[in-house]
Amino acid sequence: MAHAIHYTITPHCLQHEYLVELYIDTPGPEGVCVSLPAWIPGSYLVRDFAKNIVEIAAQTSDGAPLAISKRDKDSWLLAPHDGPVIVRYRVYAWDISVRTAYLDETRAFFNGTSVFLQVHGAEACPQHVSLKAPQAADDGWSVATAMQAVEVDDDGFGDYVAPNYDELIDHPVEMGRLHRLSFTVADIPHEMVFVGHDGCEGLSIDFPRIAKDVQQACEHHVALFGELPPIERYVFMTMVVGEGYGGLEHRASTALLCSYEDLPRLGEDDVNERYRNFLGLCSHEYFHTWNVKRIKPAAFTPFDYQRENYTQLLWAFEGITSYYDDYSLCRTQLITPESYLELVGRLLTRLARNPGRLRQSVCESSFDAWTKFYKQDESAPNVIVSYYVKGAVIALMLDLKLRQASLSLDDVMRLLWQRYGDEETGVPEHNGVDGVQQAINDVAGQDWSMFFAQALHGTDDLPVAEHLVAFGVECSWRTAANDADVGGKPAKGLAVATGMRVRGHNGGVKIQQVLSNSAGEAAGLAAGDQLVALNDARVSLALWNRQLARARVGDIWQIHYFRRDELRSASMVVQAAPLDTCHLRLMDDDVLEESVAQRRHAWLGV
């Protein structure tokens, strides 16, 4: 049977290459253009995936060679031919991240953006895929993907179909020795697969507990939006490694990367910090099934896969999602309110330690994600703000402000879902008030443009603490205790700070970042400087930290260092440490007014 577009994928494990055969039934009289996307939705950086195509050739259906010429960095033009043509190409796959493709004899993973050439003019046609079992693979491989199966064997190898190109590249595929879990949410089958460390055999991981906990987080999101988007099933695909963390959202699945230490072992029943992070990651990516995969910027409808797609709204898609990822764990009692407030304390600490918050707004951060947030260098803490971090703080403030009027951010999300999610029409962002601001105004029943000007377009600090007090939560600030102190808990802080982030290197100390208006900046020190002596003694990281713990404001440190290959010296006047480390505390019940206690109960369940 002839299909309009049909890809056949054969993994060649030892070469780390996918062999792809693309069959095009009717290429058209002018020839046809094929290209790979330059970026993958959800990760806002031009990555030029076509650079991993290592061979490409075309032929007619009777085997005669057909001319194919490269047009630019990621597209090719096929010579005109009256009849079906086949493009055969190989894709190098050796990236363990969730954004591209990977292949060895233990595991195969790919995003469609890495392997499926877009056939220009045929994007709206059904796109057929045949997955072949790999050569030279370990035994026991099976397939996990949310793509619709047409005819597959017991292990999932065989034929799949996507209704169009956008969907085709939004169903990543995981293959290997998979540990599979399943549960149901809103009558829809959900599956979690784990690959790596031989399917996690022998690690005594408490998989039933993971399924139960993740199911609860999923049910929270479905209840919030009122329905699951129209999907046949949902798949969490998790690559388990020694050390690693990340996730990428898709329309009916997510690709996750975590450490086996993040997963609970049999017999453990507390939620430790690492498992809390893993649950937060699952919760985050699942929330995206609504927020960004369907409620999405108008700038993404349709996606332009060849270049940057600009939007000021990433603060809403990533920030609101970042607020709900942890908050939903508290709401479902997977974590305690105290544990949740620790996470909020850490969030506020991250923002406070980022001088760039005073220079870039979250809307600017969103718009420039492609060249700033995703291309960070040593200046990043001083010049940019994260639309994840500040976006989550804004979402928290919005929720608290709305809750004071007996409303909530849930109402805004439901309205956005009704307006833009069902039909995937795209959230408009022109004429000053974008679709997110409009939904907030409509829910609040008032014009919040003053707040938007301050929070979304401004760079002044936001009065978060005032809002928290209205919910019986006290916000305290102290100095950092050491380099590993991420906030969230009370601790005895240091008296002084250098305003520099350093690490041990070559037996000495290397400066990684120098914060604006810090002692290090005033002394002329810069990122990359290799410190060799402190007060005429050879410096190690241990000595540096000991001196820091004993120093007093106004002490003068003599520093010898190399800048590149040039020996230099500096005098640094040690400054008082900033109050940049936050922890939150539930205020005692007996000091709370009844209305405050009620609001807090509605928000945190205490």
Least gap, CB of 603 to Zn ion (angstroms) = 23
Q: Are 65 and 71 in contact (CB under 8 A)?
A: no
| Minimum distance of Zn ion from residue 69's CB (angstroms) | 39
Interaction pattern, residues 270-309, with Zn ion; x per rule: CB under 5 A: ----------------------------------------
Minimum CB distance to Zn ion, residue 318 (Å): 5
Shorter beta-carbon distance to Zn ion: residue 318 or 326: 318
Sheet holding 32-35, edge to edge: 68-72, 75-78, 32-35, 118-119
Contacts of 324 (CB under 8 A, 6+ apart): 221, 224, 283, 287, 395
- Report which DSSP code applies to 302: S
235 vs 574 by CB, closer to Zn ion: 235
Candidate ranges 20-28, 311-319, 440-448, 485-493; the one touching Zn ion (CB under 5 A): 311-319
Tell me the window of 215-223, 312-320, 337-345, 368-376 that interacts with Zn ion (CB under 5 A). 312-320
Binding segment (CB under 5 A) for Zn ion, from list 1-9, 86-94, 316-324, 379-387? 316-324
Stretch that binds Zn ion, among 114-122, 273-281, 315-323, 556-564 (CB under 5 A): 315-323
Stretch that binds Zn ion, among 270-278, 295-303, 310-318, 493-501 (CB under 5 A): 310-318
Residue 581 and residue 479 in contact, taking contact as beta carbons nearer than 8 Å? yes
Q: In the complex, what is the shortest distance from the CB of residue 380 to Zn ion, in angstroms, rounded to a whole number? A: 19
3-class SS string, 432-491: CCCHHHHHHHHHHCCCCHHHHHHHCCCCCCCCHHHHHHCCCEEEEEECCCCCCCCCCCCC
Q: Which is nearer to Zn ion, 317 or 367 (CB)?
A: 317
CA distance 602 to 472: 12
Q: 288 or 357: whose CB is closer to Zn ion?
A: 288
Q: Is the peptide bond before 230 cis (omega within 30 degrees of 0)?
A: no
| Shortest Cβ 218–Zn ion spacing (Å) | 16
Cα gap 103→384, rounded to integer Å: 35
* Piece of 53-61, 167-175, 317-325, 518-526 that binds Zn ion (CB under 5 A): 317-325
Identify which of residues 286 and 471 has a Cβ nearer to Zn ion in the complex: 286
**Coil, strand, or helix at residue 533?**
strand
Distances (CA, A) of 603 to 212, 341, 404, 470, 488: 24, 12, 10, 11, 19
Report in angstroms how near the CB of residue 113 gets to Zn ion at its nearest. Answer: 17
Residue with smallest beta-carbon separation from Zn ion: 318
Instruction: Pick the piece of the chain touching Zn ion (CB under 5 A) from 100-108, 314-322, 440-448, 549-557.
Output: 314-322
Cβ atoms of residues 580 and 477 within 8 Å: yes
Q: x-or-dash pattern for Zn ion, window 545-574, by CB under 5 A?
A: ------------------------------
Phi-psi region of 18 (alpha: psi -120 to 50; beta: other; left: phi over 0): beta
Question: Would you call 257 exposed, middle or buried from its count of C-beta atoms within 10 A (0-12, 13-18, 19+)?
Answer: buried
| Total residues found in the chain within this entry | 606
Pairing of strands 179-185, 253-259: unpaired
- The nearest distance, CB 285 to Zn ion, in angstroms, is 7
Give me the least distance between CB of 247 and Zn ion, in Å please.
7
Site string for Zn ion, 318-357 (x = CB under 5 A): x---------------------------------------
In angstroms, what is the minimal distance from the CB of 288 to Zn ion?
Answer: 6
Q: Indicate the residue among 6 and 284 with the shorter CB distance to Zn ion.
A: 284
Tell me the closest approach of the beta carbon of residue 45 to Zn ion, in angstroms.
14
For residues 104 and 318, which CB has a smaller minimum distance to Zn ion in the complex?
A: 318
* CB-count burial class (<10 Å; 0-12, 13-18, 19+) for 159: middle
Q: Which residues of 398-422 are buried (b: 16+ CB within 10 A; e: fewer)?
A: bbbbbbeeebbbbbbbbbbbebbbe
Question: Using CB under 5 A, which residues numbered 42 to 81 contact Zn ion?
Answer: none
Q: Cα separation of 530 and 540, whole Å? A: 11
By CB under 5 A, name the binding residues for Zn ion.
Answer: 318
